[in-house]
Amino acid sequence: QCVAVCPTGALTEVDETGKVIRALSDPTKTVIVQTAPAVRAALGEEFGMEAGSLVTGKLVAALRRLGFDHVFDTDFAADLTIMEEGTELLNRLGKHLAGDKDVKLPILTSCCPAWVKFFEHQFPEMKDIPSTARSPQQMFGAIAKTYFADQLGIKREDLVVVSIMPCVAKKYECGRDEFKTNDNPDVDHAITTRELAALIKLSNIEFKSLPNEDFDNPMGESTGAGVIFGTTGGVIEAAVRTAYEIHTKKELPHLDFDELRGMEGIREATIDFDGLPIKIGIAHGLGNARKLLEDIQAGKSEFHAIEIMSCPGGCIGGGGQPYHHGDAGILKKRQAALYQEDKNKTLRKSHENPHIIELYEKFLGEPMSDKAHHLLHTEYFDRT
């Protein structure tokens, strides 16, 4: 089965499961997989488990039994995103506070490809406002096809990177030209949570009976900050944890920012950076995003940073997740599962991830270095 077709045949959602199966059976290829934060909070529903069941360990076990050579975590790349995006925020903020009138604020998050496509079409004159940081999916692919391929001693063409995503827009993102080198994409195939569930069932894997297994390293280690990327408010909370400590050089007194959490479509909060009030906006759903963008256009926005996610609830409510039929209770349970996973983690701040620290020491240099800029940042286009 290669294509999931709508009843009228007017729309097709390309299912790359067939290509993934072919890659897994090709002995000349090394096939690795990354799995997005929101997947672990919803996949269990496809197997009759309660909404909000956290199935991280079973998910890893299932991917290993499907034959992936290395099972990694997009949360690792979410930590990397925070290193780059948090540094970009602090750079812009520093220039703004120094009186630089050319610097653009607020900075807007850029990890949701549907949102990126939205502003490229609807607000192209504002394309220099969002962070230039790639999404975690694409940061993962860029590091996998360079740093990790080098570690394995193989060519990028012989490494196949597969993503498990809560999202159908992530499939489109993989095909963008800026995420390819010599026509070889950084991420080869993205399949959704539902498509993964179908593949597990097709392979006769008894999901509920699987043991809990751990991700492989070096790209499987993540902090709690990476986990909460999967819910509305999570990206900006993760960024605040790191930006606060880098800016103030002090340890945060507490890590749970309740003022950034919740399900209202537009939220705002002011976080005290040791005497510097940072104003933060959050929107999920593109209608809500439009309101905040129109305020920026009108010169009325007072935010320093805004997180925007296209799907209601953020990625926990993504179009590739098990259907929730508009039931907000299911989204809240998935959200609670991610906050629980964050709490369970020993490390909860991206800049403390030891494999991220090692990646900068051995390969990237420092956040926003030339190499980091080349591999981990992108540009946007006027698509009107």
Preceding amide of 124 cis, omega within 30: no
Could you give the CA distance from residue 49 to residue 325 in angstroms, rounded to a whole number? Answer: 17
Please, is 301 exposed, middle or buried when counting C-beta atoms within 10 Å of its C-beta (0-12, 13-18, 19+)?
A: middle
Could you give the CA distance from residue 350 to residue 99 in angstroms, rounded to a whole number? Answer: 30
- Is 112 catalytic? The answer is no
Number of residues written out for the chain: 384
Least distance to ligand SF4, CB of residue 167, Å: 3
Least distance to ligand SF4, CB of residue 75, Å: 14
Least distance to ligand SF4, CB of residue 115, Å: 6
Other C-beta atoms within 10 Å of 194: how many? Answer: 22
Residue 122 tokens read as 């609807």
Residue 305 binds to ligand SF4 (criterion: CB under 6 A):
no
Q: Are 229 and 136 in contact (CB under 8 A)?
A: yes
Q: What is the DSSP string of 193-252?
A: HHHHHHHHHHTT--GGGPPP-PPPSSTT---HHHHGGGSTTHHHHHHHHHHHHHHH-S--
Binding range to ligand SF4, per CB under 6 A, among 26-34, 165-173, 240-248, 327-335: 165-173
Residue 310 binds to ligand SF4 (criterion: CB under 6 A):
yes
Residue 236 binds to ligand SF4 (criterion: CB under 6 A):
no
Helical pair 193-202 and 56-66, crossing angle rounded to 10 deg: 60
Residue 309 binds to ligand SF4 (criterion: CB under 6 A):
yes
Binding range to ligand SF4, per CB under 6 A, among 51-59, 190-198, 310-318, 365-373: 310-318
Q: Are 61 and 252 in contact (CB under 8 A)?
A: no
State the catalytic residue, choosing from 173, 195, 221, 307.
173
- Is 88 catalytic? The answer is yes
Determine the size of the site formed for ligand SF4 (CB under 6 A): 12
- Is 311 catalytic? The answer is no
66: enclosing H helix or E strand: helix 56-66
Q: In the set 60, 167, 200, 282, which binds ligand SF4 (CB under 6 A)?
A: 167
Could you give the CA distance from residue 34 to residue 66 in angstroms, rounded to a whole number? Answer: 13
Q: In the set 20, 39, 196, 311, which binds ligand SF4 (CB under 6 A)?
A: 311
State the catalytic residue, choosing from 88, 195, 221, 307.
88
Q: Tell me the residue nearest to ligand SF4 as measured from the CB.
A: 318
Here's the x/- map for ligand SF4, 168-207, by CB under 6 A: it reads as -xx-------------------------------------
Closer to ligand SF4 by Cβ: residue 107 or 289: 289
Residue 20 binds to ligand SF4 (criterion: CB under 6 A):
no
Identity of residue 370:
D
- Is 163 catalytic? The answer is no
Least distance to ligand SF4, CB of residue 42, Å: 11
- DSSP helix/strand/coil, 132: coil
Q: Are 84 and 367 in contact (CB under 8 A)?
A: yes
Q: In the set 51, 114, 191, 364, which binds ligand SF4 (CB under 6 A)?
A: 114
Binding stretches for ligand SF4 (CB under 6 A): 112, 114, 166-167, 169-170, 309-311, 314-315, 318
**Catalytically active residues, by annotation:** 85, 88, 111, 131, 170, 173, 178, 315
